[in-house]
Amino acid sequence: MALWTPHSWQHFPAQQQPVYGDAAELEASLARLRRLPPLVVPEEIRRLRGLLAEAALGRRFLLQGGDCAEAFKDCTSEAIEGKLRVLLQMSVALTHGGRKPVVRVGRIAGQFAKPRSKPTERVGDQELPSYRGDLINGLEPSAATRRADPARLQEAYFHASATLNHLRALSAGGFADLHHPERWELPGGTGEVPAYRRTLDQVRESLDFLEALGGVQRDALERIDFFTSHEALLLPYEEALTRWVAEDSTYYNLGAHTLWVGERTRQLDGAHIEYLRGIRNPIGVKVGPSATPEHLVALLDCLDPGREPGRVTLISRFGATRIQAALPPLLAAVQRTDHPVLWSCDPMHGNGTESASGYKTRDFGAILAELRQAFELHRAHGSHLGGVHIELTGEAVTECTGGTEGLSEADLARAYETGCDPRLNGTQSLEMAFLIAEMMRG
Ligand code: PEP
Ligand code: CO
């Protein structure tokens, strides 16, 4: 294989890239980005790799979740706190019910670029470039807003850094301290999840007991580990955040702790895989209906030649009606190799439907059905499911149907806010976490 550099991807075909009108303007923006400080540090990435390696061995469980696409306008304290809160609540449910420590990774602080099925869309009588995420263009359907704007690369960096700063301040400031019940409440306006209240009471009782014995250090409970991730889609941006780390004599992407490659951009001879093979971060790979066993094994050989635990997380996303046929041949192919992968399940992207009124939606029951089958298929084939990857928000949105609130298609219009795919709301997410915890125990 040819020598890797942070820009060697430029010699390979790159899917899903916007066309920038002015090369000089793009280069000026990238030059600025290359000089800005990194968002995360290698030490944190090494730590995450270690935790994911343990998850691959079945000792931990990965919870990865957040928006389909973050929007600059939603970079607010409420939205950030809401997402952190729901992920923490879910991790309490998973740790308590599933009996495993949880590795928390947000789709946050950089999830600003989206792959699209078509490069343009028809709005009224205009053919406009599709919205590709705030990193690239704006959602408003006008020719000016849909232009790929290089200034957005810097805006994305600064929004990611503001988000991360707030996440870090919250976690250093004891946001996750279980001794503060008010911080653990579900957001107003959402339904009750009775199992959550009981779990929280039990967790607090256990803590009181351990503290009485002098067995837990209070600051260990107040600090939280929380990592960031996004899809490595817009390669010039990712390249600009790729930095040489002399200590390890290698390159890291210091724009997020972990990155994943999407279903549409994981061609073996494509630019995205070329870029990802050279960075030291843990890498996620979405695995959907187009993946063959041969392709998957070749991808693993390329991304993880050293067979290092924690390096690759395979994220299956087939849909509830396809997973049964599609997953087992891939599990078998991976088992025939000695790649120590972590398997996760994204039960969202294979279960999209359109409501009669034209909303993109997903049903709680279908999401649950895919997860249930994923756990069972892994068990039946001598493998294990070590994580989940979910699109969610802390807000009381109405984007997915089902759950105990009983949201129906008629409810979707009430609070449908996503600029991209439909997300589970706070209550649905927490309910899902309790159901996943049951499945973890088998
Ligand atoms: C996503 O995670 O938002 C996404 C687009 O997923 P996939 O590449 O699996 O379709
Ligand atoms: Co999505």
pLDDT in tens, 29-67: 999 999 999 999 999 999 999 999 999 999 999 999 999
What average pLDDT does this structure show over 393-408? 93
What is the Å distance from ligand 2's center to 149 Cα? 22
What is the Å distance from ligand 1's center to 280 Cα? 22
Rounded distance between C-alpha atoms, residue 109 and residue 230, angstroms: 8
pLDDT confidence band for 293 (50 / 70 / 90):
very high
> What is the reported pLDDT for 189?
46
Q: Which fold has domain 8-441?
A: TIM Barrel (3.20.20)
Average pLDDT taken over every residue of the chain: 93
* Phi, psi of 392, rounded to the nearest 5 degrees: -155, 170
Task: Note the ligand closest to the C-alpha atom of 347.
Answer: 1
pTM of the model: 0.95
Q: Which residues contact 364 (CB under 8 A, 6 or more apart)?
A: 400, 401, 402, 403, 424, 428, 431, 432
- Contact between 90 and 193 (Cβ < 8 Å): no
**CA–CA distance from 206 to each of 176, 193, 440 (Å)?**
16, 21, 21
Query: Is the per-residue pLDDT at 273 higher than 80?
Result: yes
**Ligand 1, CB cutoff 6 Å, lining residues:** 68, 115, 262-264, 286, 288, 317, 349
Query: Is the per-residue pLDDT at 406 higher than 80?
Result: yes
* Minimum CA distance residue for ligand 1 atom 6: 262
Task: Note the ligand closest to the C-alpha atom of 289.
Answer: 1
- For 355-384, the pLDDT digits (tens) are 999 999 999 999 999 999 999 999 999 999
- For 178-211, the pLDDT digits (tens) are 777 666 776 554 456 778 778 878 877 877 777 7
Domain spans, the chain: 8-441
Measured from the CA of 68, which atom of ligand 1 is nearest?
Answer: 3
Measured from the CA of 421, which atom of ligand 1 is nearest?
Answer: 3
What is the Å distance from ligand 2's center to 260 Cα? 12
Measured from the CA of 389, which atom of ligand 1 is nearest?
Answer: 2
- With residue 102 as reference, give the H or E element that holds it: strand 102-107
Query: Is the per-residue pLDDT at 267 higher than 80?
Result: yes
Q: Which two structure tokens, joined as six digits, stand for 285?
A: 């790979």
